[in-house]
């Protein structure tokens, strides 16, 4: 099954929808066939469906049922699922909770590690609210106001550190890659725990492993595994973020102009 990705639709129509003026409710700016239904309402309904059931459940037919219209009616507002996904992603980015990075004069007194940590935590909260984003390939993100506003906000956390413009972009990409990986692992863990808790799994598996695992052959796996126990997303998050920040700090400290 092909992976859902952004930027897969008609780029011209997508940009028209992303940057539409207020009141442009349907194709060509005409009022849609159902009074009260708008592009925004379609996007909100699609987002709610994806939040609750995942991207696999998001079809134009399922969306039409949620809206109480026919699938053909939905197509008068968005050309297809590809364009809809871009609108959903841009809207999620536009409305995500974020703390304003201080002005340049104040940013120098605001440690860069704290600014970058805020960006990581904001994106972690976003993915917890909209888990489907982690399943969406965004190598070609929609260039709408939400995506560009998010990019502007997050780059400000790296401004003045001492990185070049291309390094700032790469550092942000590296950070967000870690956040997405951590969010996906946490979501997978939560899904598994819904089907069977860690306690129940270990209750069944531990006796078998104790008989099967030779401690002399697997000394490290046994020792570390016993110390760790069940997968803990919070522990992995804290350690991983520290590794990302320490790696960036190493690069910053090597630059004579670093702040």
CA dihedral 150→156→157→161, nearest 10 degrees, is 150
Q: Which 3 state secondary structure label does DSSP give 113?
A: helix
Express each pLDDT in 35-72 by its tens digit.
579 999 999 999 999 999 999 999 999 999 999 999 99
Q: Evaluate whether 183 touches 134 at the Cβ level (below 8 Å).
A: yes
The residue with tokens 């959903």 is 88
Tell me where in the chain the CATH 1.10.10.60 domain(s) lie.
11-95
- Measured between alpha carbons, how far is 117 from 211 in angstroms, rounded to an integer? 44
- The CATH-assigned architecture of domain 104-253 is Orthogonal Bundle (1.10)
Give every CB contact of residue 233 below 8 A, 6+ residues apart in sequence.
182, 185, 186, 189
Tell me where in the chain the CATH 1.10.357.10 domain(s) lie.
104-253
pTM of the model: 0.83
Q: Is the per-residue pLDDT at 84 higher than 60?
A: yes
- For the segment(s) 11-95, the CATH number from 3.40.50.300, 1.10.10.60, 3.40.50.2300, 3.40.50.1220 is 1.10.10.60
Based on C-alpha coordinates, what's the Rg of the chain? 23
- Measured between alpha carbons, how far is 158 from 92 in angstroms, rounded to an integer? 23
Q: What is the pLDDT of residue 100?
A: 66
């Amino acid at each position: 099954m092909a992976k859902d990705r952004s930027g897969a639709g008609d780029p011209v129509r997508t940009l028209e929808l992303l940057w539409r003026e207020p009141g442009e409710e349907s194709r060509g700016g005409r009022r849609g066939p159902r009074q009260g239904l708008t592009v925004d309402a379609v996007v909100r309904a699609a987002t709610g469906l994806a939040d609750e059931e995942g991207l696999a459940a998001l079809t134009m037919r399922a969306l039409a049922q949620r809206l109480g219209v026919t699938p053909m009616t939905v197509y008068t507002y968005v050309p297809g699922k590809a364009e809809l996904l871009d609108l959903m992603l841009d809207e999620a980015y536009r409305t995500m909770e974020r703390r304003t990075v201080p002005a340049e004069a104040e940013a120098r007194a605001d440690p860069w590690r704290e600014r970058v940590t805020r960006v990581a935590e904001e994106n972690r909260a976003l993915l917890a609210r909209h888990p489907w984003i982690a399943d969406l390939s965004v190598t070609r993100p929609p260039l709408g106001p939400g995506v560009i506003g998010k990019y502007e906000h997050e780059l400000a956390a790296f401004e003045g550190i001492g990185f070049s413009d291309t390094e700032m972009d790469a550092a942000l990409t590296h950070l967000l890659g870690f956040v997405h990986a951590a969010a996906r692992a946490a979501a997978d863990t939560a899904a598994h725990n819904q089907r069977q808790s860690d306690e129940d799994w270990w209750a069944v598996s531990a006796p078998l492993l104790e008989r099967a695992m030779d401690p002399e052959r697997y000394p490290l796996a046994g020792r570390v595994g016993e110390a760790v126990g069940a997968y803990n997303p919070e522990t992995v998050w804290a350690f991983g973020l520290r590794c990302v920040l320490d790696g960036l700090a190493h690069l910053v400290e090597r630059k004579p102009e670093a702040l």
